[in-house]
């Protein structure tokens, strides 16, 4: 087996040869004529090649005699349902629903918006779009009508696929009213709306809503449509600084190669393994590692409709791992923090047998050292913090467990994944030395699978990602690398605050606050100060069962910051709260918290998990 160093060096020195070799894992209809064509701010991988992503995920495995193998396990603690789908059964459902879409006039290149909960029909809809060359755009089920309307007008879908409701722990979230309002607000009007009408809600859908299951049952299966490598597979919207979401475009060919590569060499997954990404298909993790990645490998994936806690308790994840014999698990640090908060002594954990688990991967929100070490001590297995973005679609920094499992350094997202030429740059674009903080940037061109443009807006792509440092993709994150090439992410560059002329990282302060034994989770932001410009303010959630005097805890936390960083970083105050405002993917909305505490205007994002939390924060301002 090649070592990480040798393989990474080859991927950077000769990317065309390296990615030509990796393309061998894909079943192409027509082989690439050119591995990479790069001209200025545009580049294309696997020019001239054709394929079909749904074929990669389903047909080819059935053709190899693996039709009876379990492809997808639907585990829904909120409904008490566990269902197994074989590759043959999933192929039948996908090909029939693809036939339904075709009968409604959906053609190659048409867009389809999918606004659904975490149910198997969502994956079927995505794969059916891929089968006929339609471009799906999944919008997180339950997003506000205004956010859905914005995406309708940008993507201009031929139809919308939805459901009658989603389930959020202990409440029903009706989707139809939000779809009505969104379509009414949008200038573009889709031709059809299809609804999966799950049982449990006493509502008669409008007569013009087509029934998902009826369409699937009466439609004839259709074969895969041959698409170009560069044709878009999906558009996934992510937050933009202007308030208008950015449509990240994912191609078919580069995406297939990248996911095959990452499954094998980053996640160390074998085709006989069970892989679980505890995320949502509304996010990029759900696209790459719930629906597409495990199926491309011919492995078994899990689609989980539940939470890390309260469905029914903080032992939920360990139950899933035991019941389905999960081998590789991927979740967000915020999920581990939630479990730790409610089960700090791991009493629930000890009820379950998790011996099948080999690796735990964490990403989505910066992982503090205390959380990583708690998970390591609990599981007695490698816990790998890795880093990537919606834009990349697959990991950029990781401990590549399938290539060479290197020592874990708490606080570090490890080293660049093969194909990513990652640098730390100074303000003037020169390269920083080891240990020197700067801006994370990636030398162009980006490897296969990454975005190459934004939907219908290449100018915004160039201005937003390629202009800050010419010749590089600017990630928007800051960090530094050590002498051994391990990278440390210090957070978004706008999370750096200026205290009396000193540039300080709020992420570093959060590490120190989180290390206090009473702290379950925290966030540090900068607030305006007439004398110093900005001063740090900490929000702290305590572990369950902690009954210490808040004033004493505050002093202990203040002293730890002064001790570890210095008096210049003195916290203004520690505010103890029950919860923090987060997106549904677990990212803490620090910019919104900062605006609230500074009494400045802000826009409530459609991605927020619970808008009521903002009122609780505002009461402290």
| Residue 584 in tokens | 């549904």
Q: What is the pLDDT of residue 202?
A: 74
Question: CATH code for 4-306+386-479?
Answer: 3.40.50.12780
Place of tokens 């992503």: 53
List of residues 6+ apart from 428 with CB closer than 8 A: none
Burial of 171 (C-beta count, 10 Å sphere; 0-12/13-18/19+): exposed
What tokens does 209 get?
A: 């809503």
Question: Cβ(72)–Cβ(481) under 8 Å?
Answer: no
What pLDDT does 134 receive? Answer: 98
Q: What is the pLDDT of residue 506?
A: 85
Residue where the block lists tokens 């298909």: 281
- State the average pLDDT for the chain: 93
pLDDT at 498: 74
Residues with Cβ within 8 Å of 163's Cβ and at least 6 positions away in sequence, in order, are: 115, 116, 117, 119, 121, 141, 175, 195, 196, 197, 198, 212
| pLDDT at res. 447 | 98
How much is the pLDDT for 51?
A: 98
Which residues, in sequence order, are CB contacts of 270 under 8 Å at separation 6+?
A: 299, 327
Residues 6 or more apart whose Cβ sits within 8 Å of residue 461: 41, 451, 453, 454
- In CATH terms, is domain 500-618 a member of 3.40.1670.10? no
- Residues in the chain, pLDDT under 70: 1-2, 239-243, 494, 500-503
Residue 560: which H helix or E strand, with range?
helix 550-564
Would you give the DSSP letter of residue 466? Answer: I
CA-only gyration radius of the chain, Å = 24
Please say whether the dihedral angle defined by the alpha carbons of residues 268, 272, 276 and 277, taken in this order, is positive or negative. positive
Which run of H or E residues covers position 591?
helix 590-597
Would you state the pLDDT for residue 94?
Answer: 98
Give the domain ranges of the chain: 4-306+386-479, 500-618
52-77 pLDDT, tens digit per residue, is: 999 999 999 999 999 999 999 999 99
Q: Write 373-378 long-range contacts (CB < 8 A, 24+).
A: 373/410, 374/336, 374/340, 375/336, 376/408, 378/346, 378/349
- pLDDT at residue number 170: 81
Give me the pLDDT at residue 396, please: 98
71 and 90 in contact (C-beta within 8 Å)? yes
Task: Give CA–CA dist 317/305, Å, rounded.
Answer: 11
Q: Are 11 and 20 spatial neighbours (Cβ–Cβ below 8 Å)? A: no
Q: What pLDDT does residue 503 have?
A: 64
How much is the pLDDT for 242? Answer: 52
Residues with Cβ within 8 Å of residue 32, at least 6 apart in sequence: 20, 23, 46, 47, 48, 49, 229, 253
Say what the pLDDT of residue 240 is: 59
Q: Are 72 and 290 in contact (CB under 8 A)?
A: no
Rounded Cα–Cα distance for residues 487 and 394 (Å) = 17
């Amino acid at each position: 087996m090649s070592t990480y160093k040798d393989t990474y060096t080859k991927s950077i020195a000769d990317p065309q040869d390296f990615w030509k070799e990796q393309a061998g894992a894909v079943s192409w209809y027509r082989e690439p004529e050119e591995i990479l064509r790069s001209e200025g701010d545009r580049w294309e991988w696997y020019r001239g090649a054709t394929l079909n992503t749904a074929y990669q995920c389903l047909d080819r495995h059935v053709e190899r005699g693996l039709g009876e193998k379990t492809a997808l396990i639907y585990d829904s603690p909120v409904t008490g349902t566990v269902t197994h789908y074989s590759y043959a059964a999933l192929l039948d459902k996908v090909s029939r629903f693809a036939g339904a879409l075709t009968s409604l006039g959906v053609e190659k290149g048409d867009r389809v918006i999918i606004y659904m909960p975490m149910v198997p029909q969502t994956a079927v809809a995505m794969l059916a779009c891929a089968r006929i060359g339609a471009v799906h755009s999944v919008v997180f089920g339950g997003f506000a009508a205004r956010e859905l309307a914005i995406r309708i007008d940008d993507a201009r879908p031929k139809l919308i696929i939805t459901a009658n409701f989603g389930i959020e722990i202990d409440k029903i979230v009706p989707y139809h009213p939000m779809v009505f309002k969104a379509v009414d607000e949008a200038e573009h009007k889709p031709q059809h709306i299809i609804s999966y009408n799950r049982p449990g809600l006493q509502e008669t859908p409008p007569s013009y809503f087509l029934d998902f299951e009826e369409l699937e049952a009466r439609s004839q299966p259709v074969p895969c449509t041959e698409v170009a490598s560069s044709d878009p597979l999906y558009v996934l919207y992510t937050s933009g600084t202007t308030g208008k979401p950015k449509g990240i475009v994912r191609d078919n060919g580069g995406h297939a190669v990248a996911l095959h590569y990452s499954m094998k060499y980053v996640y160390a997954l074998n085709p006989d393994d069970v892989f679980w990404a505890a995320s949502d298909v509304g996010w990029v993790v759900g696209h790459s590692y719930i629906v597409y990645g495990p199926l491309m490998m011919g492995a078994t994936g899990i689609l989980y409709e539940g939470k890390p806690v309260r469905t029914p308790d903080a032992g939920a994840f360990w139950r899933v791992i035991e019941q389905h014999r999960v081998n590789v698990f991927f979740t967000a640090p915020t999920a581990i923090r939630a479990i730790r908060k409610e089960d700090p002594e791991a009493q629930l954990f000890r009820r379950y047998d998790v011996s099948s688990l080999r690796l735990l991967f964490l990403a989505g929100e910066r992982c503090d050292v205390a959380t990583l070490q708690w998970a390591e001590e609990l599981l007695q297995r490698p816990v790998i913090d890795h880093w990537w973005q919606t834009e990349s679609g697959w990991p950029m920094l990781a401990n590549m467990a399938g290539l060479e499992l290197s020592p874990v350094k708490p606080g570090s997202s490890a080293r660049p994944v093969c194909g990513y030429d990652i640098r730390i740059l100074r303000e003037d674009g020169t390269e920083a030395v080891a240990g020197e903080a700067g801006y994370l940037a990636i030398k162009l061109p980006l490897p296969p699978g990454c975005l190459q443009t934004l939907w219908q807006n290449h100018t915004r792509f160039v201005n937003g990602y390629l202009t800050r440092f010419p010749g590089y993709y600017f990630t928007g994150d800051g960090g530094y690398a050590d002498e051994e090439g391990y990278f440390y992410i210090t957070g978004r560059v706008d999370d750096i605050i200026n205290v009396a002329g000193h540039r300080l990282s709020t992420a570093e302060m959060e590490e120190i606050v989180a290390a206090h034994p009473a702290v379950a989770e925290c966030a540090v932001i900068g607030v305006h100060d007439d004398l110093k410009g900005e001063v740090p303010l900490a929000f702290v959630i305590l572990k369950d069962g902690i009954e210490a005097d808040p004033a004493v805890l505050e002093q202990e936390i203040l002293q730890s910051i002064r001790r570890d960083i210095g008096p210049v970083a003195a916290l203004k105050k520690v505010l103890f709260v029950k919860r923090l405002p987060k997106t549904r993917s677990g990212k803490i909305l620090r910019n919104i918290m900062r605006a609230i505490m500074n009494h400045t205007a802000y826009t409530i994002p459609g991605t927020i998990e619970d808008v009521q939390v903002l009122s609780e924060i505002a009461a402290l301002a």
